[in-house]
Structure 1
Amino acid sequence: MFLCRIGELERLRRDLGIALLIGSHWSIVEVEPSLLERDILQALAATRRRLRLRTTLDQANATISAPHGLQTGRARRRLDADYYLHHFIDAAPDAIVGLDASLAVLYWSAGAKELFQLPIRDAVRLSARQLPFWSQSLHAEMERVLQGAGPLSLEHCCTVDGTELTLELMASAVRDGEQQIIGVSLNIRDITALAVERRAAAERGRALTEERQHLHRLFDQAPGFIVVTHGAEHIVEIANRAFHQLVGQRDVVGRPAIQTFPQIEGQDLELLLQQVYVTRRPYVGRSTPVLVSRRKDEQTERRFVDFIFQPVLAEHGQLTGIFCQGHDVTQQIHAQQALQQSQDNLLQLVSERTRELEQSRHALYQSQKLEAIGKLTGGVAHDFNNVLQVIAGNLQLLRPMLTQAQVPANRLDAAAQAVDRGAKLAAELLAFARRQPLRPMPTNLGRLLRNMDELLRQALGEMVEIETVVAGGLWTTMVDPNQLENVLLNLAINARDAMVDGGKLTLELSNAMLDEFYARTQVDVEPGQYVMLAVSDTGTGMTEQTAERAFEPFYTTKPEGEGTGLGLSMAYGFAKQSGGHIRLYSELGSGTTVKLYLPRTDQPEVVAVSLPVGPAVGGSETILVVEDDLAVQATVIELLSGLGYRVLRANDAQSALSILQSGMAIDLLFTDVVMPGKLSSTELVRQAKLLLPDIAVLFTSGYTRNAIVHGGKLDAGVELLSKPYRQEDLARKIRQLLGQREQLMLPGAKGEGEELSRRTALVVEDQLQLLSLTCEMLEELGIVAVGFPTAEEAVGALEHAHFDYLLVDANLPGMSGREFAALALQAQPRLRVVFVSGDGVIETELTARSLPKPFSFDQLAEILQL
């Protein structure tokens, strides 16, 4: 047991070090210095008193046992002995009490008087039960002593005069000369202070035990491994659970470290421990690979640890062993390695993505450049076509005059050929600008290639070998076959020009899938299924710089006068306008391949029917010409008048609408697509169909924009004659449309579909986008529709035209939908009214039906009973 002053416990523990963790035979007690000195002095004084008493008693016994000659009388000697013994006993600090066989008090020493504050005369002859410290358990113990039990020593707690005392009682039997028990002798000592200190010491001992156990738990549960070795042989004295888990062994204590420690990869463990032991310098290892064999039958496992070997020194600097502490960092090392691998992979992905982005940026730059050029060329082509139309029309008008005057027509033919070349050039410009009107239909490209075989052989000549490869199960594609033939012919001629001394042209058709990864690296490419048309030649090829600019209009490597540089540009614009994709692969000296990807369709193939070609004929019908270019207008009027038609003219759509509203009989409306003013050409046609349901409509334009072309395709039911056109083309197209009109007007010739095409609908909707969408849906159902955003604007239409249907929003600004419907039914009682509302079914007294928003084509057709 170690004693120390209060407050110096922690310092003493630090000085002792790890010694307290070894075994259970150590304890430290804090004692107040003043109490420690008092206790020591009291113990020494008691020892001296017992020594003096023992010496005095020995002298008295010696006197009593002296020879008879030396004694002055037996009574005297007994009296002196009793006197001395009585005083000797009373001088003792302990309480001495004598009890007879009935446990009555026979003797009560001065120590007992002082301890219990009970005088001798009051205590003698008292029953033991009457004593202030007596208890039932103590009485039972005294009975046992009277019955011959050996001397007893026990602690007894009692309360005397309100004070709690702890007494140490030593009881022994008193015998007479015949060894009969005649009483009990009690030696009583007050150990209250000692008991308090003992209890305090016990409490401190329990606290120390708990602390030691807590330290043991902390040591055993430490996240890192801890091992302490002893002596130069490095015998393991203590090891925690983490070390056992690391090495996979439990019986490591008492064994040399060389047998229990993991082997350090690339180092001698025994040499390292000896180095630390001799030099007294710690050794630190970071992410050190070690080899662990958990079981003999298991393969050696490679782990990584951070550790330190620290010398353990005693009080006087004596080296006792090595303290080893560390952590298993295998998972961290593997995580770092995985992170490093991920970083390397990320850098690689970033590098690849950077290359892809650079390719995309370059492709976007090329696309934007071509888009800008396309807008410019589209605008130029529009004006150019108008100029060509004036020239072509006047040439057509001059030809009969020159024939009558018997003037040679060779100059006129040369001018006409120049117009044709200009028209072709303008068409190619529009194709590149993605402004040419396409009429796509489900097409089998294999059939198209077979039909073009003879044309291609005539265009390429005998020096070029043509090979066609068509894959099995070829899909159908949605494309304008006529325009695709032009593209294919242009690509073949470019290939022929690249093979100066002849070569081989390969036309390949196959199904293709463009995935999302490929689409991300390109511009304006949607992933999906396509039909791929590849045109390959064995010509001179292109450099990388030439290939980058190959799709630009007017860019060519041919000598001046041998090419326009529009062949690939036209193919590029056609592919984009058709919703497809085009790629060019070329290497100088190894030929060129152009791959055209056209979108797949699930619709069955439609075979185009060629229109009959015959002489241009006219008629006597009335045609309304709407053209803002006065020169073009004058030429068209003269051409139509020459064909025998009665012609009315209008400079804009508003003027044309006034003519239509005048009630004049008009058979055909011939209007330019691009019109000045607020009223567009499409709205003019809608109003015209409303006023004259049987009227035929023919659009003309050199630049269609988005009026009648959406998604690169002509709107359904739209007839277009592109500028410039010849008189024969104009006469044939007008005759075709008027002939279809006459067939519809014959008695009994109108079937269900034709009857529906003459029905009209008035749409009143304040949301302009929904108004436009509803009108388009009605047009798709074959109903001529006219729309207004307010009821006030629609009132005028009721006065000028007859309607079959009224689709009106129930909630309108100004006049409500119900009020307008009532007014419309008064003006046209046979009108079928449909309330269109987001409120669901509209409750009304009118004869009407309800179409809740949003609605589909099928719901719209059902509500109209189509």
Structure 2
Amino acid sequence: MESSTGVGGQSLSGERRFELLVNSVRDYAIYMLDAHGVVTSWNPGAQRFKGYAAAEIIGQHFSRFYTENDQQAGVPQRALTIALTEGKFEAEGWRVRKDGTRFWAHVLIDPIRDDGGNLVGFAKVTRDITERKQAQEALRQSEARFRLLVQGVIDYAIFMLDTTGHVTNWNAGAQRMKGYAAEEIIGEHFSRFYTDEDRAVGMPMQGLRTAEQTGKFETEGWRLRKDGTRFWASVVIDAIRDTNGNLIGFAKVTRDITERKKAQEALEETRAALFQAQKMEAVGQLTGGIAHDFNNLLQAIGGSLETIERRLAAGRGDIEPYVTAARTSIDRATALTRRLLAFARRQPLKPERTDLKALVDELRDLIERSVGEAVRVETRLAPELWPIWADANQVEAALLNLAINARDAMPDGGRLTVRGANTHLDEAAVALEAGMQPGNYVLLDVADTGTGMPPEVLARAFEPFFTTKPVGQGTGLGLSQIYGFVRQSGGCVRIDSAVGQGTSVKLYLPRHQGAEKAEPTPEKAPDQPPPPVTGTVLVVEDEAIVRMLLVEALREQGSTVLEAEDGNAALTILASPTGIDLLVTDIGLPGISGQQIAETARSMRPELKVLFLTGYAGNAATDKEALGPRTRLLSKPIAIDQFIAQVHAMLGNG
């Protein structure tokens, strides 16, 4: 018999050592049964699990640990039979403690045989795994609930991809949105939902790479249904990793937001249309004053020309004052027209460095025309007013709308004061303006001496479509547009008003923080005659008098000049073998436009230089960004010396 030295030098047999080992185990119930299933040994672990002391349970049948239903179904005897026939029985199930409570047990039963192979009993090992069972059941229920949740969602496509982008599962929302049943799409690559143009640039795999690298990819774009129709989708792709951090696939959630996109586009179009309507309403308010102003200018020009004619006919040469008067009137008319066209045209919002002092000075004529002679306009602008960062066209629109509102509040006349000042707003001053930062601002204050607003009107002043004007005399959009523009620019709007005391609308616009730009020097005619202009120029202009003046000016400078009154005549000349160095064309020609002429000319003569002339301020089709190489733009009316200088530059240096 194997033996060893124990505590105190006493010898322990192998059986004694095994007994000590079994009795020291407390996390497992380890005991023996005889051939009939009667308990013959009992370790402390069994007593801890099942509540019976050894004296209480040895000699009892092990079936008492089974539930009543299992006993009636013969589960204990079947376990022993399986252990005998298969050499081992292993299972999990509910077992009963002495106090009647249940626990979930992992059970192992092995048959024990003597040296002759005769059955002498069974070894039974039981472990209480109730907590693990509860965790597994909770996980199972959670997974089941999650599956029900995912499958119950029909407004979102929720599905998974493997690491290469192939679909591995598919919910009801995906089928509803994309038209594919699960059996049609599982195993297919998710790129089939993308448009041809997106697949061509590798967008599907770009999304997976981004999700793998950053954990998430989110975007919006066009996606395809099974029937080939498109929908605008909001897409989120999340990387899925195992406990070791290895990528095992992707979770993809897609939502059809086509209607929302259409609604947003419609809202943007409506806003743009309303803003344009607001500007045109202001233009309409100006019509009477502008007509009066232009009649005065035409009178000055016409009267000057008549006086010049009379004096020349009489042989008198003292005409210089009248030439100067005509030119001054033309300059005033030019400035007024450009300002009005710039204000009225549609254009994208573009914040930029804006000289507020210069803008107010240039706009003063329009303001005075809009408010009428009964309202006195005063401007009080700080001499060193900071430049601002804002859309100049929006500032102009705000000023004119505020001027018109002030005029309506002063039906019997009054005073309109436009004040500009530099100011600093600290944290306390901007605390109530969400998203506004403390810093340097320029205050633009438009104040009137009108009727003022009662508190209930003042409280709603910025609401869209709210107006106190009679139907047909206002859209109620003026102040709301101003509020939106200023807030988008990073500033704020505040109104001070009281009945009988007038109204002051204060616009706080952020100071431009870039380097100050020197004011450009105004263009002026050179003191010396320009050098001769050599080369062949094609002039295309439908206004005969304008064309005559341009052609004669070029010929006086030594150019060879070809002329055409419309696009068809111009294209005939361009198609001929005649050498042409420069095309000068009006943009707004009837029929074939100046741009179309230029495009056709360049297809025939790729190196041809083009000088566009336009009667519109900042024509949308020929913004500086859109002008190609070897192309320039001049706005009418054009000083002849300026025109000649530009032609010379393009022919000589362009």
Q: Which has the larger radius of gyration?
A: 1
- In the superposition, the TM-score normalised over structure 2's length comes to 0.37
